[in-house]
Chains A and B, each alone.
Chain A
Amino acid sequence: MKLRASLWRHRHFYLFISPFFILFAVFGLYPLLFSLYLSFVKWDGLTQPTWIGLANFSTMLDDDILRQSLWNTLVIGLLYIPPMMILAFLFAQALNQSWLRMRAFFRTAFFLPCVTPMVVISIVFGLLFSSEKGVFNYAIVQIGRLLPFLHLGPIPWLNSEQWSKPAVAIMVLWRWTGYNMVLMLAGLQGIPEDFYEAALVDGATPFQRTRYLTLPLMLPTFRFCLLLSLLGTVYMFDEIFVLTTGGPGTSSLNFGVYLFNLSFVSFKFGYASCVAYSVALLLFLASLVVYRMNRQEGE
């Protein structure tokens, strides 16, 4: 009965951590299992669920909209993640210079988008992107007048299937660059000062220092930012829900909004659970593979 005595002696430990486990049971574990069950039924949340076995999974295989939404997710991600990472790294590099003044101002300017309600941002960008009365198109037309050889004309940002994805990407770029900048700033500050001093002694140029010292040491940070951005793009919601609601057509529908629509606009609780589960598992496996590959590379 040594264990029991030990358990009793540490009862406060169990008491203190119990709220987490109670809440997890109610809002984590139970939903996780219930969602699994839902994957095999057809249910609208109002009437009785019907067991349909694997039909949800076969539906998924020829669900054009699901495929479209995953494709859109990929395209939007490709449109904004690379420029965002580069921009964030350059900002972080600049703000990491000890001689730079007004650092707080720059940091505030780049970071402020992250603390703003996305719904407000989306509405403001909706105005800015307006085809005929928007500031962006006004600017483009003015530039087009100054430099006629560029053949610039107004862009139907939110009204065309070609431009809705770039419009979303621009807004997301604006919103998340500051966040990634701070992450990278943290990474840069984690590089010991004497590395650079040693490099200076060796006579390395600033470019060489960046190429052979900073970049390799920042690799874990980059990888982390990339992972966050990828997940963020897949599950992105407010941005698209408010700015384009996925339109025109399904041209800017990403996975997050698609899943929300499936769950709470169409009320297909069963099918939505099935899709959510499958994509989450796929992402998990994919990141596991990437992680493994990274580790092997490192060895």
Chain B
Amino acid sequence: MFVPSNPFSIIPTGRGLRWSILLFCTLLAGCAASRPVADAPPLTADALSRPGQVEGHIEVWSWNIAAKALQQLTPTFRRQYPRIDPNVDMTGANMQARLLLSLASNVGAPDVMQLQCEEAPHYLCTGKLADLTAVAAGFQKDFPASLWHNCVYKGRVYAIPWDMGPCAIYYKRNIFQQYGIDPDKIETWDDFIAAGQEILQKSHGQTKMLPMDTGALATMYQLLIQQNGGQVFDDNGRIAVNSPQSRQALGVLRRMLQAGICSNVKMWGQEFMAGLNNDTIATYPEAAWFAGTIKDAAPDYGGKRQIWGIFRLPALVKGGLRTSNLGGSVLVIPQQCRNKPAAWAFLRYALCTAEGQLAMYRSENLFPAYLPALRSPVFDEPDPFFGGQQIGRLFAGDAAKMNILNRTADWMEALGYLNQTFSKWADEGMTDTEALAELEQKLHRRLGVEIAPSSPSRTAHRTRARQSHDEA
């Protein structure tokens, strides 16, 4: 029994009508309200021509000691820019995920954001960061080329280097003295290995030379190829991991592992940290910022007896480069930032002035990437914890000479594959050539990136092709 209703009965009446209209209107209102406004104008060279005129609130995201350093910087910054009000947000819970979500959805990103050097290239190519070229290009000469290189994408500047991680060997003087090792005589990695074997023998196997996490060999490998000028990706982003430099680096790692001088402990794990407080590990090849870790972890053991010292990184061959880099970070301004002049004013003060960079070095030990700051006498001050050594000067020494290590958008993912393959190499007895060939193929397949023509696999292929051509 179907009784046809009137054709307008589709439209609700009475209370239902009112409800539906209300619902519909709020729906529309909601949609309209959340439409994002157009991008703010780009930065121009005269953005800060009148410091007193730039104003507004800016939100800065950073973590840990880096955030503390920025926070302590704001009072002096506000003396120059009284009308800018920076707020450093350090609620660290999953900041990177929140940043990526905000970049992907074009809403909610901070005005200034800290990124790790290693992951910065991933962000540079997204078009989600503000182009700083107009205001920042002039600062290129003030930063080590190795760091600046990874702040640039297709000729445009999107990030400014903040701190860096020049590397050296942290060693325990008491162990070296006890076994008669002279740190000044260690000039190459082979000297280093020989010293390690001596310590191992004389301590009856109790003291290993260095920690080496065979699950995370990419770190040491990276340190070594940045020293000898090797690359994972060439200048065109092609896979260049199968190179003589890589073989040289793996050779060093292999000799270390075979000499038995490595303590296979998880990086940052319990035993790794415990090694800072006992005699199980003699040295830590690490970056400048590791000094803070040692001071925190070993105040009694190391501080009172002043047993810690540092010496320059051994070279791959005698007379070779004795520095490398691990870690470091940059600051960026997301494209969605509404007040780019104010954000740039803060960023420039923090990173592109000796005043800003030195303040952060003093307060939180962030090692400045800004070269003019490194000329400061602060770096000549002896460090009592390290037995009065001028460790700042030692780290600053070769910083400008560091080699460029190309990092692509896939860098972090590539590091994962490096770790996988190298741990297989270490544990399952692959040869260096096999490991590099496999790694090259893996990177090629997983990242969808071409292999550089310099690779032996491609030259072999070419030779074969030429031979068959000649035969024909």
Contacts and interface: CB of A to CB of B under 8 A. Distances in A.
* Chain A complexes with chain B: yes
Contacts of B420: 62, 64
A9 B101 contact: no
B10 A15 contact: yes
Contacts of B127: 46-47
A265 B10 contact: no
Contact of A47 (B125, B266, B447): B125
A232 interface: no
A287 to B, nearest CB: 31
Q: Size class of A's contact patch?
A: 20 to 34
Contact of B97 (A12, A47, A50, A265): A265
A47 B126 contact: yes
A265 B2 contact: no
Interface string A38-56: 0000101111001010010
Contacts of A224: none
B447 A42 contact: yes
Interface in B62-105: 94, 96-97, 100-101, 103-104
Interface in B414-437: 420
Given A11-B10, A44-B122, A46-B128, A264 B101 contact: yes
B122 to A, nearest CB: 7
Interface string A1-40: 0000000010110010000000000000000000000000
B14 interface: no
A50 B125 contact: no
Nearest to B2: A9
A98 interface: no
B107 to A, nearest CB: 14
Contacts of A52: 446, 448
Contacts of A59: 446
A59 to B, nearest CB: 6
Which among B4, B103, B446 has the highest number of chain A CB atoms within 10 Å? Answer: B446
B10 A58 contact: no
Given A9-B2, A12-B10, A62-B420, A46 B104 contact: yes
Contacts of B4: 9
A267 B119 CA distance: 12
Contacts of B123: 46
A46 B97 contact: no
Contact of B448 (A47, A55, A64, A265): A55
A277 B94 CA distance: 25
B448 A42 contact: yes
B409 interface: yes
A46 B10 contact: no
A46 to B, nearest CB: 4
Contact of A46 (B96, B103, B448): B103
Interface string B323-343: 000000000000000000000
A45 B126 CA distance: 9
Given A50-B448, A265-B94, A265-B96, A45 B104 contact: yes
B204 interface: no
B445 A264 contact: no
Contacts of A58: 445
A250 to B, nearest CB: 12
Nearest to A269: B104
Contacts of B266: 249
B409 A47 contact: yes
A64 B2 CA distance: 63
Contacts of B412: 266
Which among B127, B266, B448 has the highest number of chain A CB atoms within 10 Å? Answer: B448
A58 B444 CA distance: 13
Contacts of A64: 420
B126 A46 contact: yes
Interface string B263-305: 0001000000000000000000000000000000000000000
Contacts of B96: 265
B445 A55 contact: yes
Given A9-B2, A264-B100, A55 B126 contact: no
Contacts of A45: 100, 104
A285 to B, nearest CB: 27
Interface in B380-421: 409, 412-413, 420
Interface string B118-147: 000011011110000000000000000000
B414 to A, nearest CB: 12
A264 B103 CA distance: 12
Contacts of B128: 46
Contacts of B448: 42, 50, 52, 55
Interface in A47-79: 47, 50, 52, 55, 58-59, 62, 64
B448 to A, nearest CB: 5
A12 B10 CA distance: 7
Interface in A65-117: none
Contacts of B409: 44, 47
A232 to B, nearest CB: 23
Contacts of B445: 55, 58
A52 B448 CA distance: 6
Interface string A263-286: 011111000000000000000000
A264 B98 CA distance: 8
Nearest to B7: A11
A193 B332 CA distance: 71
Contacts of B100: 45-46, 264-265, 267
9 A-B pairs with the lowest CB-CB distances in the bound complex, closest first: A46-B126, A265-B97, A45-B104, A52-B448, A264-B97, A267-B100, A50-B448, A55-B445, A47-B126
12 contacts: A9-B2, A45-B100, A45-B104, A47-B127, A47-B409, A50-B448, A52-B446, A55-B445, A55-B448, A264-B100, A266-B412, A267-B104
Given A46-B126, A47-B409, A50-B448, 7 more contacts: A15-B10, A42-B448, A44-B126, A46-B100, A46-B103, A46-B123, A52-B448
